[in-house]
Structure 1
Amino acid sequence: MEKQTLLEIRNRHGKGCGKPPSFPTTDPKVYLGYYENEHGEQWVFIYNRETQEALLTGGDVGWETYKIEGNTVGVILNAGERSWLQSCLEAATAFSNVALSDVAATLTKKLE
């Protein structure tokens, strides 16, 4: 069976935001999540199920990559972005032993 592209996303940010990264999607242990807010700001969540490393990158931050450690993200996110990120973390770790209570509690507090 021939492999076909499932999803292709165009960069909506200007050149001043840096070169957008490219993400391999063929690795079954890597979870990718995409979000675009009401201002056209794009975010990508990357989670490696094997290493349990969670990363966040976005055009609004010059496509710089931030490691998510515990309840620390390292960037300021609006309510919709935090909700999306929490959903990504839950989906990416649904079948692992990773506890998300600290991250979920922190994101929930920021939504209040």
Structure 2
Amino acid sequence: MRSVLLLIVLVCAVPSLKTMATNVACASTAFLLLALCFVVACRSASAGGQHACPYPQACYRPGAPDPHHVLTATAQFDRRTGRCVSIRPVTGPHFCHKFATLAACRAACESSD
């Protein structure tokens, strides 16, 4: 505790030490902010972006699944009938012809009839 008080007295009493302490504090703050930005950027990059399905074309040609986007699907577009149907809940990579709800499926695929 004494050393902290001595340091405070020295910093306040000697102008060059005060400037140096201010510079160190600013540099430390800048470093911490940069480290935080780096962590956030790395987490965003590792999470991967969710691909966008080009509806209504994706209803008939869904393409490959997106392994970075996991979805519990309860509806699927049936390409043979051109209608959305309910399915048993399936959790897995997102396919462009599977949807979380029947309403979402109808909005994306059946509205283009």
TM-score w.r.t. structure 2 length?
A: 0.25
Q: Which has the higher helix share?
A: 2
Instruction: Tell me which structure has the larger Cα radius of gyration.
Output: 2
